[in-house]
Amino acid sequence: IVLGLNTDVNFDKTKIADYILYISEKLLSTQQEHKAIEYLKLGIEILPDNPGIYEKLAVIYHLNDEFDAAKDIYNSGLKEFPSNASLLLGRALLFIQTGDTAKACTDLQLSANQGDIDAINLLEEFCK
């Protein structure tokens, strides 16, 4: 709801989240990662109930080898959405890259239990 107008205006949260993700992609495509990160952080403040924004921000950190920041964002997202398959898979990939296979396998199993094909394949590859 936007206040301060003669009437309140309601915005669809899904459309706002889609727009935030769209703008972050545009910023990334023009090598403006810092701006994309700031935009996504703001997105989490505005829409803390959208797991896709957490995931996108964590992936950016992860791909830039900012593993502690990526882990913090994955953990924050999973605190809000403990069974989100995409966040679990992303954190598992981070754990694989940083050498924590036990934690990776736990997250892969949780994600695979929800039918995530990538998690199922990685579970077979790394955890058997």
Structure letter (DSSP) for residue 31: T
Per-residue pLDDT at 7 exceeds 90: no
Alpha helix (H) residue ranges in the chain: 13-29, 33-46, 51-63, 67-80, 85-97, 101-112, 117-126
On average, the pLDDT of the chain sits at: 91
Quickly state the pLDDT bin for 5 (edges 50, 70, 90): very low
Q: What is the pLDDT of residue 15?
A: 84
User: Domain residue spans in the chain?
Assistant: 13-126
Of the CA atoms within 13 Å of residue 70, those in its CB half-sphere come to: 22
Cα–Cα distance for residue pair 13/15, rounded to 1 Å: 5
Architecture of domain 13-126: Alpha Horseshoe (1.25)
Per-residue pLDDT at 46 exceeds 70: yes
Q: What is the pLDDT of residue 21?
A: 87
Cα–Cα distance for residue pair 77/32, rounded to 1 Å: 23
* 2 bridge partner residues: 9
SS3 content of the chain, % helix, strand, coil (to 5): 75, 0, 25
Average pLDDT over residues 76-85: 97
* 9 bridge partner residues: 2
Average pLDDT over residues 49-76: 97
Residue pLDDT, tens place only, 16-26: 888 888 899 99
Cα–Cα distance for residue pair 120/118, rounded to 1 Å: 5
